[in-house]
Structure 1
């Protein structure tokens, strides 16, 4: 998790909720639990607080990641034309490649320190996700009661449903109303559940995909040597 990726977190959740009306059909509704949790205003507020609280560590991690990327680019740019071609990348990936071995050695040396700097912010983000997750059931029950829903399914459990069946936005609104903020400081020795780790990884995939689309849309200034990692998610219980 770099400072840049944290700044991108606020808008990334929109990709999880692609429309959806405020009604339900014949007592049956669908909800995307992951979209509810990751699109909640409390998660946005948590990310902003994390980016401030851990600014020093994230800045250091970002600087070290930039230095690593510069080193990798220099290693991979074997013809020294200022760019890394697909052929140069493929050459480094061949078995027993000297350049590939140097790239891996540089990563193995630098990445543990980068991940160590990122870890407090990563744990704080996981803790925020878990706090919001714990509010999901109550928010869902409130929507079910208000709309007189009899059955709730995830979109993946059915082959077709009209847009009016989706009440994801209603559950998001309920969590926003009942839980506008959550704490981001985990207790000592706290570790996230496996479900929390999966949600955090899913969110980071969205952030990475958005960043890649922005990079592809920008004028090319040479192929980067390697994508900057967003930091490893903590291991769940």
Structure 2
């Protein structure tokens, strides 16, 4: 599999060549595709997430309960005026290293976070394995789209300054991924470790999920800022370390 990192590096190099080419060559046979978006948007990955949520429901529910308790504890620490809300001033005050509140928050996290991470670990590993299995199928899907559309050069979207929407073939690659690979396993071999590219993709996905949940939470109740250093919720646990 061509790694996402390698693909992006080649895309930047290719962009320089394209910029020096005649104007006609800059349109014909050139497309853009986002490997990370294609992999994380594939139906196989979505189905794997559903399976993981069911398989590890007990552990994830326990992790969620512990995370909620930890978050409540931290919010209590930060709510210095005891009005049930975390104001921007209270949150900013906790970020000052010399503020005793900062030490209390870190102590609470140090005491509570390891158990949460341990409960989430099997689900995190399964999710990383699913991502890697989808990623292994990306090149074949891309090549199929390239042949079907007579594409000669595929660039990363961020490697060019402008291109019309029709140049982007990411959705086509996703559709081909879905056709070729409708599902992937989630049970990783005992000694399996994710590649660094897999870890990067998993972190990117979980950060997106975390931000989405934060926006949803802020919409549901106005005001409170997240506690300093708190870990994303059960749907966005920390990624495993790559090899």
Q: What TM-score does the superposition give when structure 2 sets the normalisation length?
A: 0.83
Comparing 219-228 with 186-195, greater Cα deviation is found at: 219-228
Query: By how many angstroms is 1:167 displaced?
Result: 0.9
1:208 alignment partner, SS class: helix
Map 1:183-198 → 2, pairs under 5 A: 183-198=185-200
Map 1:124-139 → 2, pairs under 5 A: 124-139=126-141
Query: By how many angstroms is 1:54 displaced?
Result: 0.4
Matched, 1:119 2:121: yes
Separation in 2, partners of 1:99, 1:59: 29
Map 1:131-170 → 2, pairs under 5 A: 131-170=133-172
Query: Per-residue CA shift, 1:194-220, capped at 9, x if unaligned?
Result: 101111111112112222222232242
Gaps of 5+ in 1: 1-24
Query: Per-residue CA shift, 1:7-26, capped at 9, x if unaligned?
Result: xxxxxxxxxxxxxxxxxx51
Comparing 133-142 with 94-103, greater Cα deviation is found at: 94-103
Q: Is the 8 A contact 1:69 1:228 kept in 2?
A: no
Matched pairs, number: 213
Map 1:73-84 → 2, pairs under 5 A: 73-84=75-86
Partner of 1:36: 38
Query: Per-residue CA shift, 1:88-119, capped at 9, x if unaligned?
Result: 22222223322221111010010011001111
Comparing 26-35 with 76-85, greater Cα deviation is found at: 76-85
1:56 alignment partner, SS class: helix
Map 1:77-116 → 2, pairs under 5 A: 77-116=79-118
Partner of 2:238: 232
* Aligned pair partner of 1:220 in 219, 222, 236: 222
Query: By how many angstroms is 1:233 displaced?
Result: 0.5
Q: Is the 8 A contact 2:30 2:151 kept in 1?
A: yes
Separation in 2, partners of 1:120, 1:29: 38
Q: What TM-score does the superposition give when structure 1 sets the normalisation length?
A: 0.85
Separation in 2, partners of 1:233, 1:80: 35
Separation in 2, partners of 1:109, 1:211: 24
Query: By how many angstroms is 1:147 displaced?
Result: 1.4
RMSD of the alignment, in Å? Answer: 1.5
